[in-house]
Amino acid sequence: MSTRLDLALQELADAAGATSGFGDPDTSTTVQTVARLTARVRRRRTVRGAGTAAVAASAAGAVALVAPQLTRDVSPAGDPDAAPGTCRSSVTKLPSGPRDPLGVELGHRAGGGVPVVAPAGAGEDLGTWQGRSADLVVNVSQIPDAGVGATRLRFLVTQEGVVKGLTQGPLSVTPTSTDEVLRTHLATPAPATTEDLPVYPLEDAGHRWQIAETSTGVQRVAQSAALGFTACDGTGKLPSGTYQVYATIADSVGTARGSAGPWDVEIAQDDEATSHDLPDGFPADVPLIPGRLVSADQHGSGWTVEIATPGNDRATIATTMLAHEGLRGSGVGDWDGYVLPAPFTNVLFSGAGVELPGWAVLAAASRTADGEPSVVYTLTRRP
């Protein structure tokens, strides 16, 4: 008897595929795998696009020597006159040499979950956001010798290799340590898995410290930071789509030093007007977040409604929409001790949610049975 080579190869391939978790639709790892692959493709496309445009720019420059009437606009490579790390500049101009080391880890707060700090450049994405900014966490462990004076951490929101938006804030050039942050800011004994690395803190008030878990399971201290989605050309919020975020340090005269990233971030549509096909009897004046209606059920005099919607900030947006319609109180904190952030500090808000005429409505981030991000509303009847 003999071995059927074709069958043996097929069996070998089937067995290898079956034992591999790659692409298994039943595991959550596949979601991460696809996200990583998507980020890698985007980065390569960005580099290829920038490279192609750079070649085009070189060609345009060469032609311009003999034909100065030709345009100098080489978009989408960006404005060739823009300084590195500024609006409309190309990401290929960002400094990344050995004299500009920049250690930045960036993560995001999931929809109600534990913040995750991903190693710089690992291709992890920063989630999907519907509002005008993303709630990030940041750890800066190394900065270039940027000279004396004020130093700012600058986030660049880019697309096709061009800076479309930027956010920045003051950064201390004097490092502290993880232990010090834990003792003085968090009053927490150092967990065994925390690495004691130098940390350059953001100086502005409001960047609260927290412990964040890296993708490798090691815990770090990190600060909250907002990544704005306002276009730097003054056209308002950036259009929906996928963007790449870079971090850089701006020295006292505004020159970019070092760079880290990119991380992918998705800006989602934030259409205000979406009508849901709700059952009869559901209160029409309760504002609900746009998205796909998953369920709407009546329980006694109350309701629960689930709407699938993608943003990491979906609970915040849903609560903000409710707060706009909420009943107002006479002062801060006079309602069960719960207070919404400004400008809604006088909105009546309790453990049952935002107080609306006739209803208390609580909006919470959740996921559907299929794992799709969602918001679950709980409506409690008020007299």
Partner 1 sequence: MTAWQDALDELVRTRGRALVGYAYLLTGDSREAEDLVQDALVRTFTRGRGTREVASAEAYVRRAILTTYVDGFRRRRHWATIRHLAAVPEPSPPDGPHAGPEPVVTTRLAVQQALALLPPRERACIVLRHFEDMTVAQVADALSLSIGTVKRYLSDATRTLETHLGDLAGVDDAPAHLTDEVLVTVRRSR
Under the criterion CB under 8 A, does residue 19 sit at the interface with partner 1?
yes
Provide, rounded to whole angstroms, the least separation between the CB of residue 6 and partner 1: 5
Stretch that binds partner 1, among 11-19, 129-137, 179-187, 228-236 (CB under 8 A): 11-19
11 or 204, CB closer to partner 1? 11
* Per-residue x/- track, 204-243, partner 1 (CB under 8 A): --------------------------------------x-
Which residues does 140 contact at the CB level (< 8 Å), separation at least 6?
Answer: 102, 103, 104, 153, 171, 199, 200, 201, 202
Provide, rounded to whole angstroms, the least separation between the CB of residue 1 and partner 1: 4
Provide, rounded to whole angstroms, the least separation between the CB of residue 26 and partner 1: 10
Strand, coil or helix: 37 = helix
Distance CA 166, CA 254 (A): 13
Q: Burial code of 235-258, b = ≥16 C-beta within 10 A, e = fewer?
A: eeebebeebbbbbbbbbeeebbbb
Of the candidates 12, 59, 63, 83, which one interacts with partner 1 according to CB under 8 A? 12
31 or 64, CB closer to partner 1? 31
Provide, rounded to whole angstroms, the least separation between the CB of residue 44 and partner 1: 4
7 or 67, CB closer to partner 1? 7
Under the criterion CB under 8 A, does residue 6 sit at the interface with partner 1?
yes
| Residue 217 backbone zone (phi > 0: left; psi -120 to 50: alpha; other: beta) | left
8 or 83, CB closer to partner 1? 8
Peptide bond before 373: cis, by omega within 30 degrees of 0? no
Which residues does 283 contact at the CB level (< 8 Å), separation at least 6?
Answer: 303, 358, 359, 379
34 or 83, CB closer to partner 1? 34
Stretch that binds partner 1, among 13-21, 245-253, 275-283, 321-329 (CB under 8 A): 13-21
For residue 36, which phi and psi values (nearest 5 degrees)?
-65, -45
Stretch that binds partner 1, among 4-12, 59-67, 102-110, 371-379 (CB under 8 A): 4-12
For 60-125, give the DSSP string. HHHHHHH-TTS----TTS--TTSPTTSTT-BGGGS--STTS--EEEEEE--SSS--EEEPTTS--E
Contact, 356 vs 381, CB < 8 A?
no
Under the criterion CB under 8 A, does residue 40 sit at the interface with partner 1?
yes
| Residue 7 backbone zone (phi > 0: left; psi -120 to 50: alpha; other: beta) | alpha
10 or 301, CB closer to partner 1? 10
Under the criterion CB under 8 A, does residue 44 sit at the interface with partner 1?
yes
Q: Which residues bind partner 1 (CB under 8 A)?
A: 1-20, 22-25, 30, 33-34, 37-38, 40-41, 44-45, 48, 242
